[in-house]
């Protein structure tokens, strides 16, 4: 199936700065994809390249097979919220949405519904100059949805939202996905995306370090670690090292071990006469992400 968004050897340089370097990845239709990377990694630049707001130095950024400018009415294809400050402060919220609808060439009659959908009905007729960042994020989202687009692209939309707002946004994005839309959402905070995304594209230093399903990302990058609780941590630590394992962390009776399977660890403890009081193999996207970004130089582009 044709990817909904695809970067092919995409590079963008700003003078001496290479913001995006030979990036290739594909985003499938009908999924929520998290675009994850530290500050300055090149996320916003990549999103802007897809939206035709900056031109690539080389390579291409395709929306459903072609550059955005080749779509007759781009806002029907893709709606984007890249900057929560994008609306004029002296304009009322409802007028900003109507203005965006006019620009997109779609009826303005849904403006009220859109503001209701993003929880801004009560302030629809207020000027946006005094809106909080969270309110602006909601307004930017309403504007992104104005053309009822197939693809929704959001740059750090959770900035400024309180926990309730974040939960609300996640529900809204899931409902967009459940309607068959494609959602691409960037963040520098993995915790924001962890329970939301189906797929991930991870970028650091302008380079794509992995893309694919979140599960595949964990499989590929997760360090093999075991958290173990024992009544004799010191001798267990020595036995683990003796057997070629590594003790990553030790706090009281709990230690974190890598380089051994849980079966091997059980055998080592048994042979040393040490009781294991608990043993868990922790697998989290967070640990995989930390590991992947720490070892970036060793990692090739595509993830299965």
Ligand X SMILES: Nc1ncnc2c1ncn2[C@@H]1O[C@H](COP(=O)(O)OP(=O)(O)OP(=O)(O)O)[C@@H](O)[C@H]1O
Contacts to ligand X by CB under 6 A: 14, 17, 19, 37, 39-45, 188
Q: Which is nearer to ligand X, 19 or 303 (CB)?
A: 19
Torsions phi, psi of 61, nearest 5?
-125, 115
List the beta bridge partners of residue 211: 201
- Give the separation between CA 98 and CA 79, rounded to whole angstroms: 15
Q: Are 230 and 236 in contact (CB under 8 A)?
A: yes
Q: Whole-number minimum distance, CB 65 to ligand X, in Å? A: 24
Q: Which is nearer to ligand X, 68 or 226 (CB)?
A: 68
- Give the separation between CA 185 and CA 31, rounded to whole angstroms: 11
Tell me the C-alpha to C-alpha distance, in Å, between residue 269 and each of 5, 43, 252, 266. Answer: 51, 46, 17, 5
Q: Which is nearer to ligand X, 17 or 73 (CB)?
A: 17
User: HEC states along 192-229?
Assistant: HHCCCCCEEEEEECCEEEEEEEHHHHHHHHCCCEEEEE
Q: Whole-number minimum distance, CB 19 to ligand X, in Å? A: 3
Q: Which is nearer to ligand X, 18 or 121 (CB)?
A: 18
Q: Which is nearer to ligand X, 97 or 197 (CB)?
A: 197
């Amino acid at each position: 199936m044709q990817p909904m968004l695809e970067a092919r050897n995409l590079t963008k340089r700003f003078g001496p700065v290479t913001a995006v370097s030979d990036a290739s990845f594909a985003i499938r239709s009908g999924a929520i994809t998290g675009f994850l990377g530290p500050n300055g990694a090149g996320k916003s630049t990549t999103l802007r390249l897809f939206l035709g707001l900056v031109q690539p130095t080389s390579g291409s950024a395709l929306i459903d097979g072609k550059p955005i400018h080749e779509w007759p009415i781009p806002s029907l294809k893709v709606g984007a919220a890249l900057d929560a400050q994008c609306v004029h402060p002296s304009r009322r919220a409802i007028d900003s949405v109507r203005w965006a609808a006019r620009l997109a060439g779609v009826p303005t009659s849904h403006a009220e519904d859109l503001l209701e959908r993003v929880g801004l009905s009560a302030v629809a007729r207020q000027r946006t100059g005094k809106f909080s960042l969270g309110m602006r994020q909601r307004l930017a989202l309403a504007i992104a949805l104005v053309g009822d687009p197939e693809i929704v692209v959001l740059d750090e939309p959770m900035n400024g939202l309180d926990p309730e707002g974040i939960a609300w946004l996640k529900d809204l994005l899931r409902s967009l996905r459940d309607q068959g839309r494609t959602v691409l959402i960037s963040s520098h905070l993995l915790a924001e995306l962890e329970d939301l995304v189906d797929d991930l594209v991870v970028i650091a230093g302008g380079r794509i370090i992995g893309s694919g399903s979140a599960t595949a990302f964990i499989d590929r990058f997760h360090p093999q670690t075991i958290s173990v609780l024992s009544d004799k941590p010191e001798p267990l630590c020595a036995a683990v090292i003796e057997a070629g394992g590594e003790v990553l962390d030790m706090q009281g009776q709990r230690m974190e071990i890598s380089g051994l399977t849980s079966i091997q660890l059980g055998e080592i403890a048994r042979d040393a006469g040490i009781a294991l009081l608990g043993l868990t193999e922790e697998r989290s996207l967070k640990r995989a992400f930390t590991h992947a970004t720490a070892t970036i130089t060793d990692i090739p582009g595509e993830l299965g």
